[in-house]
Structure 1
């Protein structure tokens, strides 16, 4: 199906069905883009490779995302949104105690859905291009600032009366440690497991607090 055929077919459907179909096609293409980046890297991922991975025509990919950069930026945003949904769900189930919430947040960082070898390949592919693609950097900054603010709020609750600089440093240490473990898991997957990384992170937090 070409681009014109896709527009004609879409326009002939009721509005809700058109929206549902568009949402399904977008998810299909984003999932395919994710797989393409993992298999081929960012440089070799194109609208053609994504369309082939999705089992759709290249015209459909152009219709929904206009360009390779637009598709890849939305792929990164979708990855971050899934990551945010994961840690927010962990917080929601952790209860009101700040220490429990912090431990739940840390544990969420090493969950399979966000810390698998495939997920790590995707993260580091995009992070390596932040300095060259401002759109990637902006998406990363948006989501990282949101999570960072939550960590600082929890640390502030754990240390009533502490100076704000100390609270910010503790939050930064925790965030940096988990980032470092992600890098180790990505570059040296046989050296440690996510469970090892989680245990070390928990030990570090216990020592600091």
Structure 2
């Protein structure tokens, strides 16, 4: 319970203060706990922030895995489920996007963040690649390229949502992503 309280407070501190100005003290203040409690659970600011990033990714992965497990068995339905999870309100909102981009901006300088990102992104990337391979089994090159285009496109949508929230909406991002999928997989256009 305390651990969860501290991770939630870390998220709020990053949203309010940015990653650089989030400290054990700001997190403790957000959590209403002593700084010593945060140190007890996470040992250092670096450990706390890496675990906060892992927590964000776990929430994201839980969301897309849950949508995937509840989706139709057809590959197009599974791909649609992953994309819908990408733009779900609890995953893709201004606060969450600010936290994602804060961490991604620091990955070059903090290898621990890059390691966490690689671990989680590898599973999502693999899931999309496998689905794309099922959608176009006769063209493995197209399947690999399509998976990369989908990843890049959804990342770009998240960036637009983060940078231009007044001009770009989740609904628009979702619809344009489905447009991409209709273009990449015209035989499955009805599913998107």
* Residue in structure 1 matched with residue 142 of structure 2 by the alignment: 166
CA distance in structure 2 between the partners assigned to 1:99 and 1:189 by the alignment: 29
Q: 2 CA distance for matches of 1:77 and 1:208? A: 32
Shift of 1:207: 1.3
Task: Select the residue among 94, 100, 105 that pairs with 2:77.
Answer: 100
CA deviation map 1:106-160 (0-9, x unaligned): 1110001110100000000000000000000000011111100000000001012
Question: Runs in 1 of length 4+ with deviation above 6 angstroms?
Answer: none
Tell me how many residue pairs correspond in the alignment.
Answer: 185
- Displacement of 1:78 after TM fit? 0.2
RMSD after superposition: 0.7
1:8-157 counterparts in 2 under 5 A? Answer: 24-157=1-134
Alpha-carbon deviation of 1:208?
Answer: 1.4
Alignment partner, residue 188 of structure 1: 164
What TM-score does the superposition give when structure 2 sets the normalisation length? 0.95
TM-score of the pair, normalised by structure 1: 0.87
**Structure 2 gap ranges (5+):** 186-192
Secondary structure of the 2:91 match is helix
